[in-house]
């Protein structure tokens, strides 16, 4: 949500931002908010004026009664009563106008950073930089499901019986490797100075509406029937929600957190659920990083955060690249975003393993998260970034560390989490 002052003072800038996101259907909302805001302030002004007059006349009633002017006092009482009805009507009008303004403002996109490339959809995202030399070995890399099968590490058939399509059992060494990667990701971020946190895995609708758009929520999140609770799609939702309605002391910023959670997603849309493997599933686990900071420090943290993900994957022998999201692919609450993509030697292409975003004060404004400064209370800037989302990260690791005989090399950084193992050996 943007500051309404921006629409009052420069609505053409807001419209131009909408056009750059190829969302022209939202252009009428800007003029609508502009006009509603005028009416709302007028209603408030009239109400304030009537309240002042009412208070003055109410004080006059006491004076008239003391002077024995009962008839005059009764006339003034009638006027005061009329004021009350008018004030109530204006308060109701103001409340309705504010509700409509809020509804529209929740749909108007955040102002993008000027550096965001302009493009209609994800096909126009821009490659920024590659890290590590992709290696395609002389032997054919098996599908990750087959790598896991040779290690007796994946059972989707049983998961289909218990839970349906889009779920899985990880077994034995593969399950241990999955957990080892998450434990390493946790410690990796703790070593970067981030505070470790395990958040609630369910959140209320007001938090959901504070962190994302309704369209995203509807496509992603599972609702708990009969309760105002949703299963989280990422721990970022809980972590930002932790500060809802809070005023943070300026000296306490930045707040840097790294959080673990399971994540649950419908995966509604064109991609669908992958039948065979683990790339697109309903349930996965994730190590996230979340930052709350002063606005002037936002871009500094943005650059730090995506670099941490690059460093993490390179330590696992996985080549990666960064891909900047174009305007048409940028979620409405975001100012700027980039994906970290891992190289797939099996497919000879890159695929997404993480995403880093700066959201300006959009989430803070929706959730009422402010910092206390000497000049008053100001909204903070929020950022989030994936350290590791797995099993997708597991796929990248397996493809880049598998050998021709089906064994999988364990990099040194993971060995302490794997009981000292240097290699996983096929079971069949």
Condensed to tens digits (0 to 9), the pLDDT of residues 39-69 reads: 999 999 999 988 888 777 777 777 777 777 7
CA distances to 77, 264, 405 from 50, in Å? 14, 52, 85
Tokens describing residue 115: 């550096």
CA distance 126 to 322: 9
Q: Alpha-carbon torsion 83, 85, 88, 93, what sign? A: negative
Ranges of each domain in the chain: 4-105, 122-424
Q: What is the pTM of this model?
A: 0.90
Confidence of residue 214 (pLDDT cuts 50, 70, 90): low
Q: What is the CATH architecture of 4-105?
A: Orthogonal Bundle (1.10)
* β-bridge partners, 357: 337, 384
The 10 Å Cβ neighbour count of residue 275 is: 10
C-alpha–C-alpha distance, residues 93 and 40, integer Å: 8
Residue 85 has pLDDT above 90, yes or no: no
* CATH code at 122-424: 3.30.930.10
CB 181 within 8 A of CB 389: no
Torsion angle of the four alpha carbons 83, 89, 94, 95, in this order, in degrees rounded to the nearest 10: 130
Q: Write down the number of H helices and E strands in the chain.
A: 13, 17
Q: What is the pLDDT of residues 134-190, one digit of tens each?
A: 999 999 999 999 999 999 999 999 999 999 988 999 999 999 999 999 999 999 999
Could you report the per-residue pLDDT of 268-282, keeping only the tens digit for each? Answer: 554 556 667 898 899
Q: Which two tokens stand for residue 128?
A: 């920024």
């Amino acid at each position: 949500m943007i500051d309404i002052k921006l629409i009052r003072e420069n609505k053409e800038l807001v419209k131009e931002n909408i056009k750059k996101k190829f969302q022209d259907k939202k252009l009428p909302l800007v003029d609508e908010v502009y006009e509603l805001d005028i009416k709302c302030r007028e209603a408030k002004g009239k109400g304030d004026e009537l309240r002042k007059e009412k208070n003055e006349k109410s004080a006059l009633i006491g004076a008239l009664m003391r002077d024995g002017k009962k008839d005059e006092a009764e006339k003034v009482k009638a006027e005061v009563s009329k004021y009350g009805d008018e004030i109530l009507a204006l308060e109701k009008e103001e409340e309705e106008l504010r509700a409509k303004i809020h509804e529209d403002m929740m749909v108007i996109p955040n102002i993008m950073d000027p550096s965001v490339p302009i493009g209609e959809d994800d096909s126009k995202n821009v490659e920024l930089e590659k890290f590590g030399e992709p290696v395609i070995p002389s032997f054919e890399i098996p599908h990750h499901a087959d790598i896991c099968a040779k290690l007796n590490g994946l059972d989707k058939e049983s998961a289909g019986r218990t839970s349906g399509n889009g779920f899985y059992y990880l077994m034995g060494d593969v399950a241990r490797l999955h957990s080892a990667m998450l434990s390493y990701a946790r410690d990796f971020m703790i070593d970067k100075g981030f505070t470790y946190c395990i958040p609630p895995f369910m959140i209320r609708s007001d938090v959901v509406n504070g962190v994302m758009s309704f369209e995203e929520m509807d496509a992603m999140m599972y609702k708990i029937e009969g309760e105002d609770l949703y299963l989280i799609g990422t721990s970022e939702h809980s972590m930002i929600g932790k500060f809802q309605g809070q005023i943070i002391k300026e000296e306490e910023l930045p707040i840097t957190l790294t959080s673990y959670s399971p994540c649950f997603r419908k995966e509604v849309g064109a991609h669908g659920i992958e039948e065979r493997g683990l790339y697109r599933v309903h349930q996965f686990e994730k190590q996230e990083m979340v930052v709350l900071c002063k606005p002037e420090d936002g871009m500094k943290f943005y650059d730090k955060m995506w670099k941490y993900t690059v460093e993490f994957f390179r330590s696992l022998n996985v080549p990666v690249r960064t891909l900047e999201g174009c305007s048409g692919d940028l979620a409405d609450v975001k100012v700027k975003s980039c994906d970290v993509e891992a190289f797939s030697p099996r497919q000879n292409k890159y695929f997404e393993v993480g995403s880093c975003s700066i959201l300006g004060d959009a989430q803070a404004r929706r959730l009422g998260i402010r910092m206390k400064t000497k000049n008053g209370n100001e909204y903070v800037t929020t950022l989030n970034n994936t350290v590791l989302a797995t099993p997708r990260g597991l796929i990248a690791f397996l493809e880049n560390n598998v050998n021709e005989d089906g064994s999988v090399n364990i990099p040194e950084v993971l060995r302490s989490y794997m009981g000292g193992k240097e290699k996983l050996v096929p079971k069949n």
